[in-house]
Amino acid sequence: MNFWPLLGVAVVVAGFALRLNPALVVVAAAIVSAMLSGLSIPDLLALLGAKFIDSRNLLVLLLTLPTIGLLERAGLREHAAAWIARMRRFTFARLLIGYLAVRQILSMLGLTGIAGHAQTVRPLLAPMAEAAAEKIDPDIDLDERERIRAFAAATDNTGLFFGEDIFIAFGAVLLIQGFYAQNGIVLDPRSIAIWALPTAIAAFIVQSVRALRMQRRLRAGRRREPESP
């Protein structure tokens, strides 16, 4: 077995550790790994080109940008924030836990493309979460704002990842089933998907508890403020 292509992994680790531009690091790692596996330069270029072309589906979120950009110019984020600020019952934790539940259930039904960082988190969830946090503490600083936005993105990821494995027609379940089938173990997709349920429930509980704790921390921060100079 040829162990030299493993140096490509080392390039990735070193590049990220040295804080070089990630795009450059990734391209360099691909070149190193391909060269050490004994590919000629023309074959290496064709491999990079072909695999990059094959992954074009990952950039289709680009098509949401004209809509999001126009709506932001017309005040979408300001409106989402003002709306949440007016609704007294919509607390920070309720907003995020509600979004998590919807996202997880939609993913379980296979509707993963319905929400996402470009479609829902940037224009809606993040400004709403910030507005909900402002209701608790009107003077949150930029660090706290960024933590809140990042937590909104983390909630979207958690809902997506730990919902989709329950949907039997989703890629992950079919990948597992297909892998076993190739190795002579024939399984019903449903028997695999059912084992994803306990982790899905755990994910909902863990992320919800974290949202509640974040809300409690925001409240504690507001109470402390009058004492600090």
Partner 1 sequence: MIFRVEYVYWLCGLVLAACALRELRARRRAHGAFWGILAAIFLLGDAMKSIAAHGNALPEQLAGVGVIALGLIAGFLRRAPVAESTQEHERRSASAARLGHNLFVPALIIPFGTLVFTLLQPYLNVGGIAQLDRAAATLIALALACVLAAFAATALTRAHTRDAIAETGRLLDALSWAIVLPMLLAMLGAVFAATGVGEAIAHLTAAAIPVSSRLACVLAFAGGVLVFTIIMGNAFAAFPVMMAGIGLPLLIGLHHGNAAALGALGMLTGYCGTLLTPMAANFNIVPAALLELRDPNGVIRAQWPTALWLLAINLVLIWFCAFP
Subset of 150-209 contacting partner 1 (CB under 8 A) = 150-154, 156-158, 161-162, 165, 171-173, 175-177, 179-180, 183, 185, 187, 191-196, 198-199, 202-203, 206-207
Indicate whether 29 belongs to the interface with partner 1 (CB under 8 A): yes
146 touches partner 1 (CB under 8 A): yes
Nearest by Cα to 93 from 145, 127, 64, 133: 133
Stretch that binds partner 1, among 30-38, 88-96, 131-139, 218-226 (CB under 8 A): 30-38
DSSP state of 74: T
H runs (alpha helix) in the chain: 7-17, 22-36, 41-54, 65-73, 76-86, 92-108, 126-136, 142-164, 171-182, 189-193, 197-224
Smallest separation, CB 197 to partner 1 (Å): 9
Buried b (16+ CB within 10 A) or exposed e, 149-186: bebbeebbebbbbbbbbbbbebeebeebbeeeeeeeee
- Residue among 6 and 220 whose Cβ is closer to partner 1: 6
Binding mask 62-101 for partner 1 (x = CB under 8 A): xxxxxxxxxxxxxxxxxxx-xx------------------
Smaller CB separation from partner 1, 53 or 228: 53
Please tell me the total number of residues recorded for the chain in this structure.
Answer: 229
The residue from 18, 54, 88, 89 that contacts partner 1 (CB under 8 A) is 54
| Tokens linked to 14 | 């070193």
Nearer to partner 1, 91 or 192 (CB): 192
CB 140 within 8 Å of CB 134? yes
- Closest to partner 1 by CB, 136 vs 168, is 168
Gap between the Cα atoms of 40 and 42, Å rounded:
6
* Alpha-carbon separation of residue 49 from 22, 30, 187 (angstroms): 18, 11, 37
> Which of 90, 105, 140, 210 touches partner 1 (CB under 8 A)?
210
Q: How far is the CB of 141 from partner 1 (least distance, A)?
A: 13
Q: Rule CB under 8 A: is residue 15 a binding residue for partner 1? A: no
Give least dist CB 97 to partner 1, A.
13
User: Minimal distance in Å, beta carbon 105 to partner 1?
Assistant: 13
Would you give the DSSP letter of residue 170? Answer: S
Shortest approach of partner 1 to residue 227 CB, angstroms? 28
Residues 173 and 167: beta-carbon distance below 8 Å: yes
